Amino acid sequence: MKRTLLTLLLCVVMGTAVTAQNEFSSSVVEVDWEAVEVVIPPSPFQYQILFIGGEDMVQTGTNEEVPAKQWHDFIGFTPLTDEDCVDDPNAIGWVSINHERIQADDKIGDGGGMTTFLMGRQPSDDLLYVIPQTLSDGREGDFFNVDFSNVGETGMNCGGINSIVDGRIWTAEEWFRSDNASIYVDGNGVRDTTAYTIKYTEFEMANFETIPKYQNFNWMVEIDPRESKAVRKQYNWGRQPFEGGTIAADNKTAYLGADATPGFFTKFVADVEGDFTSGTTYVYKHDAAGEPWVEIDNTDFEKMLNFKDEAVAAGATMYNRLEWVTINKNTGKVYMTETGRDNPWDRWADEAAEGAVYAPHHIQRAADQGASGPDDENYWDYYGRILEFDPATGEINIFVEAGPYFPTSPSVNDYPAKHLSNPDGLNMLYVNVAGEDRTYMLINEDLNGTSFGRTPIEYPDDRMCEMYLLDMEVTNPTVDDLIRLTQTPRGAEITGACATTDGKSVLVNSQHPDSSNPFPYNNSLTFAITGFDDSGAIDVLSAPDFTGVPDDTFMISPNPVERIVYFNKATDVALYDITGKRIAVYRDVKSIDIAGLAQGTYLLKTVDGETRKLLVK
Amino acid sequence: MKTDTFFFLGSFLLAGLLIIASKPPKKTRTYVDKAIGSINDKFHEDLSDCYNVALQFHEAARSFQEGKASENQLKEEYSQLRKSFKKIEFFIEYLDKEAFDKTMNGAPLPKLEKKVADLRVLQPKGMQVIDEIMASEFAVTDKQDLVSNAYRLESDLKKIKQFLGVRRLTDRQFFEASRQALVRLTTLGITGFDTPGTQVGIEDATVVLQTQQEYLRFYNKELKNVNAPKLLKDFIRVSNQGISQTQKGSFENFDRLTFIKTVVNPLYKGIKDIHLALDYETIEEVSRYPLAVNYKADHLFEKDFLNKFYYVSIANDTNFNKIASLGKLLFYDPVLSKNNSISCSSCHAPEKAFTDGLTTSNSNTGSPLKRNSMTLNYSVYASAYFHDLRTKRLEDQFEHVVTSKDEFDSSYPEIVQKLNTSPTYSEMFTKAFPAYDKPIKPNNIDYALAAYVMQFTAFDSPVDTYFQETSTSLSEEVKNGFNLFTGKANCATCHFLPTFSGLVPPLYKETEAEVLGVPESNSEPWILDDDLGRLGNGVTQEVADFYGNAFKTPTVRNIEKTGPYMHNGVYKTLEEVMEFYNLGGGAGLGLGIDHQTLAPDPLNLTDKEISDIIAFMESLNDTKEFSPPSDLPRDFSEKKLNERELIK
């Protein structure tokens, strides 16, 4: 007996020693940074794939179809109007999708391109579907390639404009070109590089001008989503590395962003509502006397071709890569992403010397970093930001600074749990939930790199791009106010984010995903998340408020949980199943994603030994 | 009765003991009291030290430029800088690979800035750039370059210190970083890659091994707790052997073969053993996504050191073998080409390590094409395909052959339509891809071919089995050849261990291309081959002058069977190839190529050294052989198709 006891005692002591050794024992999983498929938000949201690049066929002519181009970028939604004759009573509107490429294709056309389709919504379950159409040029089918042959082809279709007034669509030709070789790409890009003569446009200053082919790229191009045809290149808005833009409620003012260092902020004001072929073009200069806008003569085609030189000469304000531009139709304020570039350095020094001015926040940031100015080799802009332009005051201010940005290093416990790096796609979502109108900003990341905390260290080359929602009710928002909505497959850029006018769905593109994802996630694709109008749907996505909960307690919420359970502090935790078997260890986390766990009861144990029962529903 | 009482008392006692035991003992604070706490502290300290040394080095470079410090003083400061950098290198590389490559220790070659709308060349900076200057003649411009690069290193280290100085490492991360350090030491350190100028990689290795010991000693107590202190003792013993080898060695005479076999490989396994003994989580448990380096592997030359599924989008599941068997038929089947006349095997014959033995491959009409057929063995381990790196993954490669007018001259719809008329193929596709309604799809054809090609990774050459300890002998010539290949001849600085290809360690995620200045024919007058290589690959984001004449670095495994050599097959024998390198490539031949990535200086290899290197390379032949299928499906509805030839 005695011996048995002694043995037991030894066992207990050894057990204690081992416990002291490693707080959690065996077999582990971690936060869902490594999803290989689109991370689908929890119910009541519904998820659907609508359009797969390289897989779905686009109609390029009568009885002629080829697989769609890849690299989906911008998405536009054009709501059905009373004047549209569409047989399907559940049709809601047309979707237009950019392909950000320069690629030769005999059928689709060389360069980039767009795809359009008509979409309907099932009344029974709100799910979306593609409606077959017959276009007036005889094409029949589900997906249609936008014909750009009438405007001299297109390329690198990145962002665009989706008018809040009537759903008109412009596509932005980004990736500024400076010679024909760069569009020809040894015959793999735009193969016809003969000089282009502009003809029969509304722009008298441009008609019968013959320009090198590459100069017919990098314009904003309006398209007709109903007929899947280009309408016109906007020769009066200047030739710029356009990324995005927006139309104000007056249906006269267009705001445009250019993706370059320096990138300029441009405005066009039409003479007549809805007619963007004549009006005045301006570039933003924050320190101009009076109105912060300087006119650039858009009746001079040379000036439109060399827009940047004109902007520099006008002393315009320089930004570090402006991407998408959107407008809050409730307030009229304009928002744009300044995605950043790690080390802008000498990229804008010459322009500064010639009179262009740095945006004040870059001067401030450089000073904070101990750099001599925005053109200092050591000045960095790893994370980018969202800017707000208020037409009432003419001021541009930082709306949300992306990060983990900190002027001084935080302690581990204060290290930000949310990161927003290199915001790119930007749009608004207006939704009526239980009779209440709510407005959200949709923010898409497109990481410029992985360094300095832009990705978790386990995945140094995997670019996880996330999409966030921001409630526009929040005053002085920070990264902590962002609600993580979804994440695209590994390696993909998340982009497009476009709400349907009814506010029920958001369409998203997963662009150029990593090779190693399973089909169809190895292709660029368009997917939809539906259910934003459901009561409480958006609330299930956001983190609970733990204000006032002391750090020496361990609180978890929600519980029961469906997807993400949040903690009141960052800690190491292990998750045990009902039998006491450890099934996961997470370190330094403020929340965990329990996707993939079976329903039931689990135990969460912190590194300090605090335990909480967790119900997974 | 008595027994019951005893039992009762026993239970009571036991209960009491359990209560005492379950009462938490004095709380051990993970990140303070345990090994990982000390590891974090040491890392943060060493990082600060390194920053201070970099500051000093910047000062020294300036004093040297101003004539206030001697060359010897500068070199002493440089030696200090290398020492303190090598102490923290493994953490920085592990924690922020991108910043590490861009600012700390990337190759001294220009790169293009990624993800920006314009073409922007990023000039290299960091330790390797500084190392090249430290081996220069110290001309006025060299001195200026040194000052600016020392300043850059200092400022970049400051940013890294600010950022990483607040991060907290876990045990798992420490072990992973430490093993990665051994891979770097072996493939980039002792081979001279890291020190393109001064070639002090062997001295560096001493610092790395010493540092690693210091860190691992923190686990002494924890290992005692799990009754495994011997693991640490063994580790230190082998590590000390390694240190004595590196201390005695120099770049010219270091016996890398012995060092890898007797030191690196056991240490690499030793860290894993310690990690597992302590029961900390491993990356493979934490991530559902396969990494390129398989953490479970014991050493660099193990068959599954690299995870081939990392490189493809094909899942490692139960259907894989069915997919690969299907691929094996398709590979030899001319039905994939327009006239049912050529197959993959037309240019990739199994007995020639899947090459064709021709200077450049033949077109479908029998006329020579532009480039030499590349071996498919080990080809899965790459991030870019074709000599010009135009596609990014194995599955995407095939499409180019299908649509090329000179090759298959076909299209996927045509192939799909043909395959659908064979019940055998239809059934095989259905079984291989059960999730698809119509399994004969373009991407599934690509997957099948890729799955077959993925199997050509035997890792069973005499050199492999020597490291795998399944054979004990290599001839003196081969041993010497290995040491030259990884040393004096500078081969392993581009043909990295263990694939002997351009797949860059220690992450093995990116394939490199090199500009060698290959001439158009092997005779004077020397004329640079006009193939633009990577510059002409059609990838919009790769249009940079320095990609001109750049070609993918292939594996030298099975090289005896894969001649003629180079992208244009200009060299018929390995002797000719060695002669080309020995003279310093195209630049060495006087071809006036200014962006050659191969050093233009002669290697000064003797005939004996060259023949030893060739003997070594010829010991990289796979033992395993691959054979064609015995026949092809012959049940197509179109009779004529069933008469097609099986191309072996």
Which pLDDT tens digit goes with each residue over B227-283? Answer: 999 999 999 999 999 999 999 999 999 999 999 999 999 999 999 999 999 988 888
Interface touch B312/A515, C-beta < 8 Å = yes
How high is the pLDDT of residue A542?
74
Task: Enumerate residues 309 to 328 of chain B having a beta carbon within 8 A of any beta carbon in chain A.
Answer: 309-313, 315
Interface touch A260/B313, C-beta < 8 Å = no
The CA distance from B168 to B37, in Å, is 9
Task: Enumerate residues 520 to 549 of chain B having a beta carbon within 8 A of any beta carbon in chain A.
Answer: 536-538, 540, 543
> Is A436's Cβ below 8 Å from some Cβ in B?
no
How high is the pLDDT of residue B367?
96
B28 pLDDT higher than 70:
no
| Closest CB from B24, B102, B313 relative to A516 | B313
Give the residue from chain B lying closest to A607, CA to CA. Answer: B30
The pLDDT of B337-357, averaged and rounded, is 97
Q: Which residues on chain B are in Cβ contact (under 8 Å) with A458?
A: 283, 286-287
* CATH T-level assignment (fold) for domain A46-342+381-538: Neuraminidase (2.120.10)
| Closest CB from A182, A450, A458 relative to B98 | A450
Interface touch B118/A241, C-beta < 8 Å = yes
A28 pLDDT higher than 60:
no
Mutation for testing the A interface, residue in B540, B543, B547 having most A CBs under 10 Å: B540
> Is B117's Cβ below 8 Å from some Cβ in A?
yes
> Is A166's Cβ below 8 Å from some Cβ in B?
no
A13 pLDDT higher than 50:
no
A479, with CB counted inside 10 A (0-12, 13-18, 19+), is buried
Whether the complex's predicted ipTM is more than 0.95 is answered with no
How high is the pLDDT of residue A546?
82
- Amino acid, res. A392: A
Residue located via tokens 């870059």: A362
> Is A567's Cβ below 8 Å from some Cβ in B?
no
| Closest CB from B24, B114, B117 relative to A260 | B117
Q: Which residue has the higher pLDDT, B169 or B33?
A: B169
* Cβ-based neighbour number of residue A295 at 10 Å: 14
Interface touch B222/A21, C-beta < 8 Å = yes
Interface touch A515/B10, C-beta < 8 Å = no
Q: Which residues on chain B are in Cβ contact (under 8 Å) with A23?
A: 28, 30
A514 pLDDT higher than 70:
no
> Is B10's Cβ below 8 Å from some Cβ in A?
yes
A12 pLDDT higher than 60:
no
How high is the pLDDT of residue A567?
87
CA distance B299 to chain A (A): 21
Task: Enumerate residues 436 to 495 of chain B having a beta carbon within 8 A of any beta carbon in chain A.
Answer: 443
How high is the pLDDT of residue A536?
78
Interface touch B115/A260, C-beta < 8 Å = no
Interface touch B96/A461, C-beta < 8 Å = no
Of A218, A226, A65, which is closest to residue A152 (Cα–Cα)?
A218
Interface touch A460/B507, C-beta < 8 Å = yes
The percent of residues above 90 in pLDDT, for chain B, comes to 83
How high is the pLDDT of residue B1?
40
The pLDDT of B446-456, averaged and rounded, is 97
Interface touch A185/B538, C-beta < 8 Å = yes
| Closest CB from B117, B226, B395 relative to A176 | B117
Mutation for testing the A interface, residue in B14, B286, B287 having most A CBs under 10 Å: B286
Residue B211: pLDDT band (50, 70, 90) is very high
Give the residue from chain A lying closest to B98, CA to CA. Answer: A451
Q: Which residue has the higher pLDDT, B435 or B398?
A: B398
How high is the pLDDT of residue A15?
37
The percent of residues above 70 in pLDDT, for chain B, comes to 95
Give the residue from chain A lying closest to B539, CA to CA. Answer: A185
A312 pLDDT higher than 60:
yes
How high is the pLDDT of residue B542?
81
Spatial contact of A563 and A593, defined as CB atoms under 8 Å apart: yes
Q: What kind and span of H or E run contains A589?
A: strand A582-593
In angstroms, what CA-CA distances link A36 with A511, A517, B290, B450? Answer: 14, 6, 11, 20
Task: Enumerate residues 159 to 218 of chain B having a beta carbon within 8 A of any beta carbon in chain A.
Answer: 159, 162-163, 165-168, 170, 173
Interface touch A20/B28, C-beta < 8 Å = yes
Residue range A215-247, pLDDT digits in tens: 999 999 999 999 999 999 999 999 999 999 999
User: Cα B347–B350–B351 angle (5° rounding)?
Assistant: 110
CA distance A502 to chain B (A): 34
Mean residue pLDDT across chain B: 93
B615 pLDDT higher than 80:
yes
In angstroms, what CA-CA distances link B84 with A544, B81, B88, B239, B330? Answer: 45, 5, 7, 19, 55
How high is the pLDDT of residue A465?
76
In angstroms, what CA-CA distances link B167 with A76, A412, B42, B114, B161? Answer: 41, 7, 13, 26, 10
| Closest CB from B120, B163, B443 relative to A452 | B163
How high is the pLDDT of residue B432?
97
The pLDDT of B497-505, averaged and rounded, is 98
CA distance A27 to chain B (A): 6
Interface touch B17/A185, C-beta < 8 Å = no
How high is the pLDDT of residue A37?
46
A216, with CB counted inside 10 A (0-12, 13-18, 19+), is buried
Residue A67: pLDDT band (50, 70, 90) is confident
> Is B32's Cβ below 8 Å from some Cβ in A?
no
Q: What kind and span of H or E run contains A210?
A: strand A210-211
Interface touch A18/B226, C-beta < 8 Å = yes
Q: Which residues on chain B are in Cβ contact (under 8 Å) with A573?
A: none
- Considering the domain delimited by A7-41+558-616, tell me its CATH architecture: Sandwich (2.60)
Domain spans in chain A, listed from the N-terminal domain onward: 7-41+558-616, 46-342+381-538
Query: Across the A/B interface, how many CB contacts are shorter than 8 Å?
Result: 171
pTM of the model: 0.88
CA distance A79 to chain B (A): 32
Phi, psi for residue B370 in degrees, rounded to 5: -80, -30
The CA distance from A522 to A518, in Å, is 6
B379 pLDDT higher than 80:
yes
A458 pLDDT higher than 80:
no
Task: Enumerate residues 382 to 401 of chain A having a beta carbon within 8 A of any beta carbon in chain B.
Answer: none
Q: Which of A414-428, B320-334, B567-581 has the lowest mean pLDDT?
A: A414-428
The pLDDT of A47-63, averaged and rounded, is 87
The pLDDT of A307-319, averaged and rounded, is 97
How high is the pLDDT of residue A50?
92
Residue located via tokens 């060493």: B46
Q: Which residues on chain A are in Cβ contact (under 8 Å) with B95?
A: 457
Q: Which residues on chain A are in Cβ contact (under 8 Å) with B21?
A: 12-13, 15-16
Mutation for testing the B interface, residue in A587, A588, A597, A610 having most B CBs under 10 Å: A587
Q: Which residues on chain A are in Cβ contact (under 8 Å) with B163?
A: 409, 452-453
Residue B115: pLDDT band (50, 70, 90) is confident
The percent of residues above 90 in pLDDT, for chain A, comes to 53
> Is A6's Cβ below 8 Å from some Cβ in B?
no
Strand partners, A147: A229
Residue located via tokens 């983190």: A543
Q: Which residues on chain A are in Cβ contact (under 8 Å) with B30?
A: 23, 572, 607
Interface touch B96/A452, C-beta < 8 Å = yes
Could you tell me the end-to-end alpha-carbon distance of chain A, in angstroms, rounded to an integer?
A: 48
Of A470, A532, A463, which is closest to residue A500 (Cα–Cα)?
A532
How high is the pLDDT of residue A300?
96
> Is A611's Cβ below 8 Å from some Cβ in B?
no
How high is the pLDDT of residue A19?
42
Sheet of strand A253-258: strand arrangement: A242-247, A253-258, A265-272, A275-284, A293-296
Interface touch B117/A186, C-beta < 8 Å = no
CA distance A66 to chain B (A): 10
Residue range B559-569, pLDDT digits in tens: 999 999 999 99
How high is the pLDDT of residue A23?
67
The CA distance from A480 to A401, in Å, is 11
